[in-house]
A and B are shown apart, each in its own frame.
Chain A
Amino acid sequence: MSQHRPRRIDREAVRERLDRVTDPELDRSIVDLDYVEEIEIDGERVEVSLTLPTAWCSPAFAWMMVADARDALFAHPAIAEATVRLRDHMHADEINEGVNSDEPFESAFGDADGDIEEVRRTLDGKARLARQYRAVSTLLDGGLTSEQIVGLTRGDVAIGGDLATVRIDDTLSVCVEADPIRRYLEKATETGVVDAPDDGLFRTPEGGAIPLAEFETVHRRGRLARTNMSSQGHVCERLGDARIGGPTRVTTD
């Protein structure tokens, strides 16, 4: 199946691709977070530079973002060559060299033990839980009871435009704002926690079904995950601001 490959690519398309990459700790787009410092386009070749809020950002998290950004660019049909460079980081050399030559994390960092995918699973789990908190809050605001919420399956939810329709039983459906539900489903699906139509819609932090007696605790743990992320997001933002004005600044846009 041969497709015509568009010859030219523009900055907007590059940014749109990068927008799909999240800071795994904060669960927010690296474009929104202003980590993208420079985009250079030369025909089918794209080079992107990222700067994180501090030179001490976890190398594992930094690696994930650089690698995800590179993957996101490669997935664009018009991009033949993509290089992503991390600037001003404690381990920029190892990360840039490793990611851009398709080395695995473990060989770029000889002293790493354990599995970087495990780190990703942990962070994804937190992101899912934080998104679940918003989705469940939306349903509670929409009038659903905790009993109804723990009984929902993936198949009970349909999203159309700005609204999500949630089927409670054969006679009753409720419409709520779609965005929190959509964002939750994205992460829950991506992480394989909610897949088939008869899978329970919401889960415990460990991924199991939520016993009704634990609904409140699970919901509060979701709130806690969300508070943690947004608080850390604020810390990162302040560090980033300080860095841009401070002595570690190397580049300007």
Chain B
Amino acid sequence: MYQYEGEDVFVIDGHVHWWDASKENIKHEGGEQFIRCFYDYHTGFTPEERQWSLEEYRKYDKERMVRDVFGDGHADMGIFQPTYLNEFYKEGFNTIDRCAELAEEHPSRFIVNGRFDPREGEAGLRELERQKEEYDVDGVKVYTAEWRGDSKGWRLDSDEAFEYLEKCVELGIRNVHPHKGPTIRPLNRDAFDVADVDDAATSFPELNFVVEHVGLPRLDDFCWIAAQEPNVYGGLAVAAPLAKSRPRKFGEIMGELLYWLGEDRILFGSDYALWEPEWLIEAVMEAEMTPEQRDEYGVELDLEVKKKIMGENAARLYDIDIERQKEILRDDGVSEQFGLADQYGEGAAADD
């Protein structure tokens, strides 16, 4: 557990992946370009001494992931957000079954989310039922710009998508994580446009919509929607590294998010293996708004707020009792392997 100014900060990394972009798994040039684009994000933001080689980055083993996220990485728990990209990768990029394999070995550490794609029709609905049945998912990641045959994306406010959202309600899947990032294809019909979240959020008040990457590069559209829809949340994956590379800019982004959404609706995510949580969590915990920014936005980014962002908000969405969870983590395999048990002791602070 991360310690900051003598206080415990329980960290739930809201966005982690266990992907396979090995050459053997690539079936379309888009798959190669996709991982290279990710790698540009990786090298563009990671401190030089912490950068991976492209080969390491394509495919990493379980041991490495567990060490990077929990052993060295300060995170206490991680939420898998699957991304299939079946048009690009033979066995998919980051599938629920692959993630679940790792989660089953460390059930106290990982939360597995499912995914759906409304273009899969009836079969997709059955698949969603299977995910609930087999993995008891509480959330789903949806990637609206995924290619499928001639289609280069879909919208969350379509009739087909609504059928799936109804299914989520029926199955008790409460958290929907739409990935909204940079525009790629389909061209002017912008599949990463955040506008479709608006109608979905209004129509399904019983669901929570965690917009990943806080809509960047449409932070403005995202905040305006979130300001009006109380069940819309922001996931910090991709915005978080700015805390290291451009702390002032990060302060501005946090100022906007805190102003428009408030401190209860922002969730930290490292986007592992895009970036390792270790340096990222340190950078976010160190981040401060300047006095001018505090005046300008009229909000605070203090330790209490950071604790919410780092774990408490995700715990609320995923029904995790943090105190109870600490007791569980104290005796689990990961604590044993990395000597973390003391961190979870009854109120005892770690020595370092």
Contact = CB atoms under 8 A, between A and B. Distances in A.
Interface of A: 25, 54-61, 90, 105, 109, 111-116, 118-119, 126, 220-221, 223-225, 227-228, 230-232, 234-235, 238-239, 241-243, 245-248
Nearest to A225: B220
Nearest to B222: A228
A119 B183 CA distance: 12
Given A105-B187, A231-B219, A235-B216, 5 more contacts: A113-B189, A223-B256, A227-B220, A227-B255, A238-B45
B85 to A, nearest CB: 13
A221 B184 CA distance: 25
Interface string B122-166: 000000000000000000000000000010100000000000000
Nearest to A222: B220
Interface in B219-258: 219-220, 223-224, 238-239, 242, 245-246, 249, 252-253, 255-256
A223 B352 CA distance: 41
Most buried by B among A90, A228, A247: A228
A112 B186 contact: yes
Enumerate the 7 nearest inter-chain pairs by beta-carbon distance, A residue then B residue, closest first. Answer: A238-B44, A242-B44, A58-B183, A232-B217, A242-B40, A228-B219, A228-B220
Contact of A227 (B33, B188, B252): B252
Contact of B188 (A56, A115, A223, A245): A115
Contacts of A228: 216-220
A243 B37 CA distance: 9
A114 B217 CA distance: 21
Contacts of A115: 188
A114 B188 contact: yes
Nearest to B260: A224
A61 B218 CA distance: 14
A224 B40 CA distance: 26
Contact of A111 (B36, B152, B239): B152
A230 to B, nearest CB: 7
Interface in B1-48: 30, 33-34, 36-37, 39-45
B188 A234 contact: no
Q: Classify chain B's interface size.
A: 35 or more
26 contacts: A54-B37, A55-B33, A55-B36, A55-B37, A59-B187, A61-B183, A90-B30, A105-B187, A105-B188, A111-B150, A112-B187, A112-B189, A115-B188, A223-B256, A224-B224, A227-B219, A227-B253, A228-B219, A230-B249, A231-B216, A231-B239, A234-B249, A235-B217, A242-B40, A246-B36, A247-B36
A231 to B, nearest CB: 6
Nearest to B185: A59
Contact of A243 (B40, B187, B219, B256): B40
Contacts of B246: 234
Contacts of A25: 217
Interface in B250-278: 252-253, 255-256, 259-260
A25 to B, nearest CB: 6
Nearest to B45: A238
A230 B255 CA distance: 14
Most buried by B among A119, A126, A235: A235
A124 to B, nearest CB: 14
Contacts of B259: 220
Nearest to A130: B220
B260 A119 contact: no
Contacts of A60: 183, 187-188, 190
Contacts of B190: 58, 60, 119
A239 B40 contact: yes
B182 interface: yes
A219 B183 CA distance: 26
A59 B220 CA distance: 21
A7 to B, nearest CB: 40
Interface string B69-103: 00000000000000000000000000000000000
B200 interface: no
A230 B185 CA distance: 23
A58 B260 contact: no
Interface in B157-195: 182-190
B350 interface: no
A105 B186 CA distance: 13
Given A119-B188, A227-B252, A231-B253, A126 B220 contact: yes
A228 B239 CA distance: 11
A179 to B, nearest CB: 21
